[in-house]
Amino acid sequence: MNIKNIAHTVAHSIEISQAANQQTDYIFIIDFSHQHKPADGCLLVHYSAANKTASIKSYDQQYKDLNDPLNQLEHASYLECDEDLDQRDELLAALNQSLKIA
């Protein structure tokens, strides 16, 4: 998936959850590729049902290698970014803008 589509998909899903008064926290997992192979980096977008907000965490390892309590949450979606890891900042900016995170 490209950056624009990932940002739109995540933001739209979270908007639906907010409107529907979703009661369960969940995460979106976003992995990157490098020359068509998994890259050592990922993003997790966490939706907090209690606060009706989203936050983003960035990691320098693949999702499968993470040891984070967020992994215990429901997985809304696993997304693969077609861009190399060096585009992570661009994806973060697009997500922040779509989610209106300061």
Q: What percent of the chain has pLDDT over 90?
A: 83
Choice among 27-31, 78-82, 98-102 with the minimum mean pLDDT: 98-102
Closest CA to 25 of 64, 71, 60, 74: 74
pLDDT over 70 (residue 80):
yes
What pLDDT does residue 10 have?
97
pLDDT-based confidence at 38, cuts 50/70/90? confident
Asked whether the beta carbons of 101 and 14 are under 8 A apart, the reply is no
Please name the helix (run of DSSP H) or strand (run of DSSP E) that holds residue 18, with its range, or none: helix 3-19
User: For the chain, how many structural domains are there in total?
Assistant: 1
Q: What is the mean pLDDT of the chain?
A: 92
Closest CA to 59 of 75, 42, 35: 42
User: Which residue segment(s) compose the domain that 8 sits in?
Assistant: 3-99
What pLDDT does residue 37 have?
84
pLDDT over 70 (residue 102):
no
For 58-71, what is the mean pLDDT?
A: 92
